[in-house]
Amino acid sequence: MSKQHNWKIGWVALLVLSLFALSACGMVQPAKKPEVGPAGKPVEAKPNPPVMERFRPAPTQLYDLEAIAGSLFEGINKGNWPQAESGIANLQTTWEQTKQIVGEKKGVKDADEAIAGLTASVMGKKAVSAYEDLTKFMSSVSDVGKSYKLSPIADIITVGNAIRNVSFYVQDRNWNKAASKAKDLENTWNQAKPSVEQVGVLGSTTTTHSYVKQLKDSVDAESQGAAEEHIANLNESMGLIREYYRGK
């Protein structure tokens, strides 16, 4: 075998390996899911988006939805219904824009159902129902965000939801529920923290980590003032993280 031929084989092998690595094994379609499981239907299955689409940055509207959700939740939580109504209007507008951009992705259908319920709850000024619908809506938006493989938007929304859960029960002074939600926030944050770590926002991730731990301690101690202070700090640090990634 000639020397030149050997070099050619080597380069071809390198090319194949590079293509395989770049595709991140994503050429393989997921196995077909069963129609029903022991307790009913499994989660909705959607085919993988096209390979290149998975590596695009998440649309800025997803970050905007998270920001609006914060404002809307504040209105619901504090009984400030004009703020909540303004928030739901913003949320609907932004969601319509988002749908057009993201197309048919996993989570879109559920989000549509949730936002309809949320609108009704806010218009009916039902705080508990509105809080639950908002959580459901943002969970579905998080599912949409998971399609953007290189973006941490799904984790940012999940952590946001977990913070809202704690805040809701702290406001309600339901300490058992709040403690359970604080534990849930800690676990969620532990899973999400590596995804949001990036040079340029490392300070905010470190402070968020501290605030999550402190919030859990203050909820365990049933200290509403301290818990609210830590939630406010978390609002700031998570807001900074969200703004850092917006458009990236």
Partner 1 sequence: MDKLEKFAADIDKNVDYFKKLLGVGESFDIIFREFKIGRRRAATFSINGMTNDILLTNIYADIMTYHPEELNINTLNKVFYHRLAHSQVKVVDNINDTLTSLLSGELVMFIDEETQAIVIDARSYPIRSPAESTIEKVTRGSHDSFVETIPFNTTLIRRRLRDPNLRCEIVKVGARSKTDVAVCYIRDITNPDLVDTVKDRLNSIEIDGVPMAEKAIEEFIVGGSTWNPLPRVRYTERPDVAVVHLLEGHVCLVVDTSPNVIILPTTFWHHVQHVEEFRQNMTAGTFLRLTRLGAILTALLLPPVWLSLVLQRHLLPETLAFLGPRDPGIIPLGLQFLLAEFGVEMVRMATVHVPSAQSTALGFIGAFMLGEFATKVGLFGNETVFYIAVATVGTFATPSFELAMAVRLLRIALLILVIFFKLPGLLVGLLGAFIILVATKSFGVPYFWPLFPFNFKAMKDVLFRLPLPNKILRPAVLKPQDPDRLEHGPQKPPETDDEKDQ
Rounded CA-CA distance 155/136 in Å is 15
Rounded CA-CA distance 214/185 in Å is 12
Sign of the CA dihedral 212, 214, 215, 216? positive
Residues 186-205 that bind partner 1 (CB under 8 A): 190-191, 193-195, 197-199, 202, 205
Count residues near partner 1 (CB under 8 A). Answer: 32
Task: Examine residue 140 and tell whether it contacts partner 1 (CB under 8 A).
Answer: no
Binding mask 81-120 for partner 1 (x = CB under 8 A): ----------------------------------------
Beta carbon nearer to partner 1, 79 or 247? 247
CB of 35 to partner 1, least distance (A): 19
CB of 102 to partner 1, least distance (A): 15
Task: Examine residue 183 and tell whether it contacts partner 1 (CB under 8 A).
Answer: no
Of 117, 139, 147, 141, which Cα lies nearest the Cα of 129?
117
Beta carbon nearer to partner 1, 14 or 116? 14
Tokens of 182: 């604080």
For residue 245, give Cα distances in angstroms to 41, 70, 156, 195, 217: 35, 17, 10, 11, 29
Task: Pick from 46, 99, 126, 146 the residue near partner 1 by CB under 8 A.
Answer: 146
Rounded CA-CA distance 136/138 in Å is 6
Rounded CA-CA distance 184/163 in Å is 9
Residues 206-225 that bind partner 1 (CB under 8 A): 206, 209-210, 213
CB of 122 to partner 1, least distance (A): 31
Rounded CA-CA distance 170/182 in Å is 10
Beta carbon nearer to partner 1, 198 or 233? 198
Of 205, 172, 200, 201, which Cα lies nearest the Cα of 189?
205
| Widest pairwise Cα distance in the chain | 81
Q: Give the interface segment with partner 1, choosing from 13-21, 114-122, 130-138, 164-172 (CB under 8 A).
A: 13-21
Task: Examine residue 45 and tell whether it contacts partner 1 (CB under 8 A).
Answer: no
For residue 206, give Cα distances in angstroms to 67, 108, 194: 21, 32, 11
Beta bridge partners of 40: 37
Which stretches of the chain bind partner 1, using CB under 8 A?
Answer: 1, 3, 6-7, 9-10, 13-14, 18, 21-22, 24, 146, 148-151, 154, 190-191, 193-195, 197-199, 202, 205-206, 209-210, 213
